[in-house]
A and B are shown apart, each in its own frame.
Chain A
Amino acid sequence: MNEPTTLPESGELEVSIFGPGFGECIVAHVGEGDWIIVDSCLGPDGQTPAGLDYLKRIGVDVSTSVKRVVATHWHKDHVRGLAQTVVECSSAKFICSQALWSNEFVALTDLWKKRGLPSSPLDELSRVIDTLAGAPGAIKGSNAEFPIGFAGPNRCLWRRRSAGDSTDNNSAELHSLSPSDAAIKKSLEMIASLFPAGELLKKPIPPRPNQFSVVLWLRVGSVRLLLGADMEEKNNPFGGWKVIVESAERPDGKASLFKIPHHGSETGEYGPIWTEMLIREPWALLTPFNSGRVKLPREDDAQRIVGKAKNSFITAGFDDRSSRGKTGTINRTIHETVRYIKKANDSFGHVRARRKISPESSGWVVSKFGDAKSLTELCAKKKV
């Protein structure tokens, strides 16, 4: 796989999105050597956090240069490798929904830890909680910077001021546009439902909908980006895209780059996003979701997105997965038992979008690495 090796320039904005079939991570250079990481997934080796690995390979000192690590929600495909990321980005503030620091959620992680069972999404978050609770500044009475920040509606999560006015190329801000207070309350109810009584233990599968996701608005100079996480629109008054778009307090301006929400699904689509929050023909980035019988984006989803943003890119396709061989005692036995078996994440790709921060810049320059492709290419491949 051809790999990127160059650092962005100080005055260059970068958004890199990583995705195997199951997982998503975004890293963003917001100028002057400052980086932000959003979510986490594992790279092709199945062990190393993809975003962290990329930053280290291009020479970023993650312990000082990463300013914020954001967990948009706690679905497994967005948190694998998060604990290691938090540990290594030791001067970054960790941003998440307040619900993850509730009695209920902390109790849930503790109960799972006591069972001593591996491979739970709570495992990752449990380690994040332990790491942050032990950080200087975490305890009451400490003067050091507090290591945790709660995302909320139209809340500023990070700011880099400059000597000039707010549209100076050196200034930058990261805002969360969600979750709403009502969504936080709902998410606490949802967490409470993960304490089943009188039944056998099952691995917790966070239920949908994804109204509890943290949607991010990033401004660097006059360039704006909308990172949609897994936010959906389901006509719920307490959360969703409608609440975000219609909020009078959200930051102004229109984004030129859009991280498509919820892997391009129909439920992540909400028309007014495109008219109210995005420029005409923005660049669009997304990751696929390929697990079990669920494959996103579907063909019509991809067509819809390409219809609104011809410069759309996806980190991986669907049909790149290989199955086991059929020889050998183990493989023969497996094939005799199952209807199919495939590697869960056989493809992996990275889409990197860069542009100069200055207003005169023409636009984004996109590079594709690994199995990444344009969405147009994916649509064409599906038709063949």
Chain B
Amino acid sequence: MSDLKPEFEDVSIVLVGSFNPAIFHPVWFAREKLIQQEEADRANIKIVSHDVTVFSIGWLTVEVTLDRFVARTTQIQNLEPLRDLVLGTFGLLRHTPIKQMGINRIAHFQILSEEVWHQLGHRLAPKEPWAGLLEKPGMRRIQMQGIRADNYKGSISVAVEPSLTTKPFGAYIEVNDHFDNDAEEKGNQCDRMMEILAESWQTCLERSFRIMQTLVK
């Protein structure tokens, strides 16, 4: 059975640590050649302040708060540049304390019929245990978490909901590949997290794709 194409997809890299949002202006990224000068000139800047920064440049959205850095793209053709941007940013800001990282993928899939849609919900959340407790129970959201099978610390979470954007029937799937920093020295936190990102990026993307395809087929 060939792979199902999602209607909408989004990949993000989320870092939890300690950040100075004011730094992350498009001008800074362009000056460090992490994005094109033209992209910085045309950036859609929502806000840049000491507490929060949000801007987008077409293929990329960056959101930074004091304890979180998020880089995301909805353009699947730009996944490597997304990774490179984060590697490049924190290759330069290598003293940033980063405790955790998430490589996340979300997608909305069109489901062919109501019957298939219900089958999906029933497969993931059987109705029998709810008989007599709820009238017409239906799956609203299911979230599962598994341990990591690789050498990294962290976990992998998957959540499935009915999609509210894909009509008439759709499934929304969210995969969070979560890493806890295992750096031995505090000063090496940023380097170690970027090493994990470089090493695991491709595997994470392949895994989230496989998870999504397995769930929706």
- CB atoms of A and B under 8 A apart anywhere in the complex? yes
Mask of A106-150 contacts with B, CB within 8 angstroms, 1/0: 000000001111000000000000000000000000000000000
Give the residues in chain B near A200, CB-CB below 8 Å.
Answer: 33
**How many chain A residues have a CB neighbour from B under 8 Å?**
5
Contact yes or no, A116 B33, CB < 8 A: no
Judge whether A114 and B33 touch: CB under 8 Å. no
B199 within 8 Å of A (CB atoms): yes
> Which residues in B have their C-beta under 8 angstroms from that of A115?
87, 198
Determine if B7 is an interface residue (Cβ-Cβ < 8 Å). Answer: no
- Tell me how far the C-beta of A204 lies from the nearest C-beta in chain B, rounded to whole angstroms: 17
Instruction: Say yes or no for B114: interface residue by CB 8 A criterion.
Output: no
| Chain A residues within 8 Å of B3, by CB | none
User: Contacts of B87 on A, CB cut-off 8 Å?
Assistant: 115
> In the assembled complex, which residues on chain B have CB atoms less than 8 Å from the CB atom of A114?
191, 195, 198
Q: Which residues of A contact B195 (CB under 8 A)?
A: 114, 116
Query: Using Cβ atoms and an 8 Å threshold, which residues of chain A touch B201?
Result: 116
Q: CA of A200 to CA of B199 in the docked complex: distance in angstroms?
A: 20
In the complex, residue of chain B having the shortest beta-carbon distance to the beta carbon of A116: B198
Q: How many residues of B contact A (CB 8 A)?
A: 8
CA–CA, A43 and B191, complex, Å: 38
Decide if A117 touches B33 in the complex (CB within 8 Å): no
Bound-state Cα–Cα, A115 to B91, Å: 10
CB distance from B147 to the nearest CB of A (A): 24
- Tell me the complex Cα distance, A114–B193, Å: 11
Which residue of chain B lies nearest to A199 when distances are taken between CB atoms in the complex? Answer: B33
Per the 8 Å Cβ criterion, residues 183-198 of B in contact with A are 191, 195, 197-198
Q: What is the CB-to-nearest-CB distance from A80 to chain B, in angstroms, rounded to a whole number?
A: 21
A38-83 interface with B by 8 A CB criterion: none
Q: Hey, which chain A residues are within 8 Å of B198, CB to CB?
A: 114-117
Q: Give every chain A residue within 8 A of B191 (Cβ-Cβ).
A: 114
* Closest A residue by C-beta to B191: A114
* Bitwise interface map of B from 93 to 130 toward A, beta carbon under 8 Å scored 1, else 0: 00000000000000000000000000000000000000
A200 to B34, CA, bound (A): 9
Instruction: Give Cα A114–Cα B195 distance, bound, in whole angstroms.
Output: 6
B151 CB to nearest A CB, Å: 15
Q: Mark A86-121, 1 if CB is under 8 A from B, else 0.
A: 000000000000000000000000000011110000
Q: List which B159-208 residues lie within 8 A (CB) of chain A.
A: 191, 195, 197-199, 201
Within the assembled complex, what's the spacing in Å between the Cα atoms of A117 and B33?
19
Q: Which residues of B contact A117 (CB under 8 A)?
A: 198
Q: Once the chains are docked, how many angstroms separate the CA of A85 from the CA of B195? A: 28
Contacts of A116 in B (CB 8 A): 195, 197-199, 201
B73-92 vs A, Cβ < 8 Å mask (1 yes, 0 no)? 00000000000000100000
A96 to chain B, nearest CB (A): 27
Min Cβ gap A368→B in Å is: 41
CA distance A79 to B111 in the complex (A): 50
Task: Report how far A116 CA is from B195 CA in the complex, Å.
Answer: 7
Compute how far the CA of A115 lies from the CA of B199 in the bound complex, rounded to whole angstroms. Answer: 8
Distance in Å: Cβ of A333 to nearest Cβ of chain B: 13
* Listed residue (A115, A116, A117, A200) with the most chain B CB atoms within 10 angstroms of its CB: A116
Give the complex CA separation of A115 and B87 in angstroms.
8
Q: Cα distance A200–B33 when bound, in Å?
A: 8
Interchain residue pairs with CB less than 8 A apart (11) = A114-B191, A114-B195, A114-B198, A115-B87, A115-B198, A116-B195, A116-B197, A116-B198, A116-B201, A117-B198, A200-B33
| Given A114-B191, A115-B87, A116-B195, 9 other A-B residues pairs in contact with their CB atoms under 8 A | A114-B195, A114-B198, A115-B198, A116-B197, A116-B198, A116-B199, A116-B201, A117-B198, A200-B33
**8 tightest A-B contacts by CB?**
A116-B198, A116-B199, A200-B33, A114-B195, A115-B198, A116-B195, A114-B198, A117-B198
